[in-house]
């Protein structure tokens, strides 16, 4: 490879465990330039250290870090109240300014590769880094009083099964393995039939697509997508 670019959302103040496992299992990447980016839905996401974690895992494979960047976007993590100030602050993102930053990031890492430059990086001692040491998934799961599948609404598409990174959901049995669940809400956010039922702190959650519909939000796509064949 001439360049490897790794992207990930920030999940519980770090890159997700499945991304960590994937990077850790990668073969040697001796001398290959690598760059990392993360997306995050709120300003408190510990995104700098999440980036450093990704680059550190790649550097352990003898890759050469050449760039890193964090891009804020609309928050997709369901909450009992989608109308929080933090949520509203990011409703317009990504915008054209975001995509211009992406283009500049791309230009910078390509220039670094051409010039054979590497990136020096270091983690920060941040409050969120200390919070990350808490059992955050366990604490969040304790707030979930109900997590199941509504058989009357389920259309049998198994999207929730495909999107669950830990194999915790079994729609045919209206069952979710709470021990396996990591509270990522991927099932809720991707169900096309609103059949996933989650009650969080006594309130029924609804997913990201429903949020976009209720708020009449259209996600802006970059101009490059008009010419992309993927």
CA angle 150/138/13 to nearest 5° reads 105
pLDDT, tens digit, 9 for 90 and up, residues 75-126: 887 777 777 787 888 889 999 999 999 999 999 999 999 999 999 999 888 7
Instruction: Write out the residue limits of the CATH 3.30.70.20 domain(s) in the chain.
Output: 136-215
Continuous H helices in the chain: 17-24, 47-59, 85-89, 96-115, 127-131, 136-142, 159-163, 186-190, 208-215
Contact (CB, 8 A) for 77 and 41: yes
Q: Three-state DSSP class for 113?
A: helix
pTM: 0.86
Domain 4-131 sits in CATH at 3.40.50.360
Report the topology of domain 136-215. Answer: Alpha-Beta Plaits (3.30.70)
CA distance 144 to 206: 13
Q: Look at strands 196-200 and 144-149 and give their pairing.
A: antiparallel
Provide the pLDDT for residue 228.
Answer: 66
The mean pLDDT value of the chain amounts to 90
* Least confident window among 69-73, 79-83, 176-180, 200-204: 79-83
Instruction: Write out the residue limits of the CATH 3.40.50.360 domain(s) in the chain.
Output: 4-131
DSSP character at residue 175: E
Question: Can you tell me the mean pLDDT for 13-34?
Answer: 95
pLDDT, tens digit, 9 for 90 and up, residues 37-73: 999 887 666 899 999 999 999 999 999 999 999 999 9
CA distance 220 to 93: 8
pLDDT, tens digit, 9 for 90 and up, residues 15-25: 998 899 999 99
Q: In this model, does residue 172 exceed pLDDT 90? A: no
Q: Three-state DSSP class for 221?
A: coil
Cα 10 to chain centroid distance, Å, stands at 5
Provide the pLDDT for residue 131.
Answer: 75
Provide the pLDDT for residue 230.
Answer: 56
């Amino acid at each position: 490879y001439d360049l490897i670019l790794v992207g990930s959302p920030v999940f519980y103040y770090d890159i997700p465990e499945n991304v960590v496992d994937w990077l850790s299992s990668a073969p040697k990447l001796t001398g290959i330039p690598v760059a990392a980016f993360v997306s995050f839905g709120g300003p408190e996401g510990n995104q700098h250290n999440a980036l450093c974690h990704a680059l550190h895992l790649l550097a352990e494979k003898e890759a050469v870090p050449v760039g890193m960047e964090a891009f804020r976007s609309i928050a997709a993590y369901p909450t009992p109240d989608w109308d929080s100030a933090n949520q509203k602050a990011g409703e317009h993102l990504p915008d054209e300014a975001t995509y211009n930053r992406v283009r500049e990031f791309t230009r910078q890492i390509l220039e670094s590769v051409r010039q054979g430059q590497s990136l020096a990086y270091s983690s920060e001692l941040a409050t969120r880094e200390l919070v990350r040491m808490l059992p955050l998934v366990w604490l969040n799961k304790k707030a979930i009083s109900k997590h199941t599948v509504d058989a009357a609404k389920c259309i049998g598409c198994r999207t929730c099964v495909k999107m669950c990174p830990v194999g915790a959901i079994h729609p045919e049995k209206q069952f979710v393995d709470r021990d396996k669940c990591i509270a990522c809400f991927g099932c809720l956010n991707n169900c096309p039939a609103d059949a996933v039922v989650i009650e969080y702190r006594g309130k029924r959650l609804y997913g990201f697509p429903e949020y976009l519909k209720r708020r009449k939000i259209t996600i802006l796509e970059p101009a490059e997508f008009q010419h992309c064949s993927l």
